[in-house]
Chains A and B, each alone.
Chain A
Amino acid sequence: MNWEAFWLTVRLAAIVSMLLVAIGIPIAYWLTYSRWRWKFLVEAAVALPIVLPPTVLGFYLLVALGSRSPLGRWWQALTGHTLAFTFEGLVIGSLLYSLPFAVQPFAASFGAVDRKLLHASASLGQSPVQTFRRIVLPLSKAGLITGFALSFAHTLGEFGVVLMVGGNIPGVTRTLSIDIYDQVQTANYSSANQTALLMLIISFLVLSIVYGLNQRPWTVNPWQ
């Protein structure tokens, strides 16, 4: 069992899912309330990582983060090294890769808040921002936790993007999924088995939390 890879993976997933809450809420807010006619293009772009092969996303990221791109050069001037094949690069890649898993549940739960409540809040003198903070966010609690947990679990299990952007540097970019791949390549099945089982359990637990939360307590139980 590669504990170094385990903690690296957990750290990556935790940082990414927390950042995604901060980034995803404004994006989801805009997607929910904007009346811009081309909004659907943004929606499609946000959803891209769901359908795109991770290698495609990883390839473009590698180009964008490399020393020839403006972003790469800027980062290099700032820190002295490129973003590619670093933990920071991995964070950026994972943010994009898991973005829809945060934004979509957020936007869905914001959109499910009855507009009449927003109108009522406005007629009571509350600005749109106050209304969002006092009405929409509290009523979207389940959606926020779902988005957080899904992006955590999704980052935990990513493979292709990590391999493309991060490579396989122990302690820097070697995550659990890559570790499993390595173990299998070297025919070390018992170690691969342990790691795989651990991933399975963690992922199952996270998803159980998500579905447990979204299970409505007032749903009529058909078996009772």
Chain B
Amino acid sequence: MAVKTSLAPPGAPRMSSQPISSDLEVRIRKRFPNAEGSFLLNVHFRALAGFTILFGASGAGKTTLLDCIAGINDPDEGRIAVGGEVVYDAEKNVNTAAWKRNIGYVHQDLALFPHLTAEENVGYGLRKLSAAERNSRSHEMLGAFCIEHLRTRRPAQISGGERQRVALARALVTEPRVLLLDEPLAALDRPTKSALVGDLRKWNQNHRVPILFVTHNGEEVFALGDEVIALDAGKIVAQGLPHDVMRAPRLETVAHLAGFENIFDASVVALHESRGTMTCRLRSGTVELETPLVRAEVGSLLRIGIQAGDLLLATEDPHGLSARNILPGTIRRLVQRDVVISAIVACGGTDFEVHLTLAARDSLQLSAGKSVWLVVKTHSCHLMGV
């Protein structure tokens, strides 16, 4: 499903007449409660037109931050400006009401109006327009998001993915200056997800507004991000391009979130400058791994992160592989998560988590107790400081 070109045909009167180019500047502090007591949300960033991913574990303050920007929640102090216009400034006592901010907000729960049809939901924010204008705008938007056929249905009568589309269309049709999306794709399967992301991208090519996109899913970060802001316990711990923030994590919190299921403390035992690698011994056992060479000395401590999806399993001792690390081990247990099999493999006193497909499990006839060989590519080992 892709955006039909009708969304912004060349010379279309309203939709593309003024590409609004606004940016969002946020500098706020707010004490907010969470499961472990209270946190201080303390952030300062600027988001330009395009996707900015707000990435962090639940409880990191992502939703509180969005609520403050939308005007649903008040910060304790700070300043929020959209396209140069100040909507909140604690010092100057400026606090524009949420409904006057023109900031689109799609909540995780979508919050579709249950008593209105899909079409009425989409047209809801267009009350000031004439009925004819409102109808044509909502039709256009329903078409652009491929939900025309749901026009007369209520939210309870349509599927989860369709509801997400209605919620997005409802927010976009009002042409907000900023779009806040709080895990809008969390409940979707992958193809639906990427179709929706495609639609969003197309829409934003014509509108050029900052889109703050909250997620705790590392995959979405790579798929969407122009810019990533990693949030932990109310603070920005990393900011930059997805690759910089996610692939070379300096911080363990980011590493965990980025999907490094395996994080080990290790010490350097040998440097191989000629090969550009070094040997590290995991502190939890006897395993030694050959990792990329970094500026380190023999004996220095570091941390190794390995994504479970980067590990391979073999049922026979593999030969002729380019991978430097081949570790004999035993499967302790297999757990199925959605369509992924998570295998815990014990190698020399250390447990590794390995992700496999269902097909791989069946063709290799894997089961708990089976002897296997774990294959770890040198460059799958990501090094972090301690």
A interface residue numbers (CB < 8 A to B): 114, 116-117, 119-128, 130-131, 134-135, 138-139
**Smallest beta-carbon distance B230→chain A, Å:** 25
| B107 pairs with A125, CB closer than 8 A | no
* Stretch from B111-119, B249-257, B309-317, B365-373 at the A interface: B111-119
| B72 pairs with A119, CB closer than 8 A | yes
Q: How far is it, in angstroms, between the C-alpha of A131 and the C-alpha of B72 when the chains are bound?
A: 14
Q: How far is it, in angstroms, between the C-alpha of A78 and the C-alpha of B372 when the chains are bound?
A: 99
Q: How far is it, in angstroms, between the C-alpha of A162 and the C-alpha of B176 when the chains are bound?
A: 57
**Smallest beta-carbon distance B15→chain A, Å:** 18
| A122 pairs with B98, CB closer than 8 A | yes
In residues 68-106 of chain B, which contact A (Cβ within 8 Å)? 70-72, 97-105
**B125 an interface residue at 8 Å Cβ cutoff?**
yes
Residues on B with beta carbons closer than 8 Å to the beta carbon of A130 = 127
B interface residue numbers (CB < 8 A to A): 70-72, 97-105, 107, 109, 111-115, 124-125, 127, 170-171, 174, 176
**6 smallest beta-carbon distances between A and B, as pairs:** A124-B125, A120-B111, A123-B105, A122-B98, A116-B111, A122-B99
| A125 pairs with B72, CB closer than 8 A | no
20 A/B residue pairs, CB under 8 Å, sorted by A: A116-B107, A116-B111, A117-B113, A119-B105, A119-B107, A119-B111, A120-B111, A120-B113, A122-B71, A122-B99, A123-B103, A124-B99, A124-B174, A125-B99, A125-B100, A125-B102, A128-B99, A130-B127, A138-B115, A139-B115
Q: How far is it, in angstroms, between the C-alpha of A15 and the C-alpha of B107 when the chains are bound?
A: 43
Contacts A116-B107, A128-B99, A130-B127 given; does A123 touch B70 at CB 8 Å: yes
Partner of B104, one of A117, A123, A126, A138: A123
**Smallest beta-carbon distance A217→chain B, Å:** 12
| A120 pairs with B107, CB closer than 8 A | yes
Which secondary structure characterizes the binding site on chain B? loop
| B109 pairs with A123, CB closer than 8 A | no
Q: How far is it, in angstroms, between the C-alpha of A100 and the C-alpha of B115 when the chains are bound?
A: 27
Residues on B with beta carbons closer than 8 Å to the beta carbon of A122 = 70-72, 97-99
Partner of B125, one of A116, A117, A126, A139: A126
Q: How far is it, in angstroms, between the C-alpha of A130 and the C-alpha of B103 when the chains are bound?
A: 18
**Closest residue of chain A to B170, judged by CB?**
A124
**Smallest beta-carbon distance B350→chain A, Å:** 45
| A123 pairs with B127, CB closer than 8 A | no
Residues on A with beta carbons closer than 8 Å to the beta carbon of B124 = 121, 124, 126, 134
Contacts A116-B107, A116-B109, A130-B127 given; does A123 touch B115 at CB 8 Å: no
Apart from A122-B97, A122-B99, A124-B171, list 17 A-B contacts with CB within 8 A: A114-B111, A117-B111, A119-B72, A119-B111, A122-B70, A122-B72, A123-B101, A123-B171, A123-B176, A124-B99, A125-B99, A125-B100, A125-B125, A126-B99, A126-B127, A128-B99, A139-B114
Residues on A with beta carbons closer than 8 Å to the beta carbon of B114 = 139
Q: How far is it, in angstroms, between the C-alpha of A139 and the C-alpha of B114 when the chains are bound?
A: 8
Q: Choose among A119, A126, A131, A135 the residue with the greatest number of B CB atoms under 10 Å from its CB.
A: A119
| A120 pairs with B105, CB closer than 8 A | yes
Q: How far is it, in angstroms, between the C-alpha of A131 and the C-alpha of B102 when the chains are bound?
A: 15
Residues on A with beta carbons closer than 8 Å to the beta carbon of B100 = 125
**Smallest beta-carbon distance A133→chain B, Å:** 11
**Closest residue of chain B to A139, judged by CB?**
B115
Residues on B with beta carbons closer than 8 Å to the beta carbon of A128 = 99
Q: Choose among A114, A123, A127 the residue with the greatest number of B CB atoms under 10 Å from its CB.
A: A123
Residues on A with beta carbons closer than 8 Å to the beta carbon of B127 = 125-126, 130
Q: How far is it, in angstroms, between the C-alpha of A116 and the C-alpha of B73 when the chains are bound?
A: 12
Q: How far is it, in angstroms, between the C-alpha of A131 and the C-alpha of B111 when the chains are bound?
A: 14
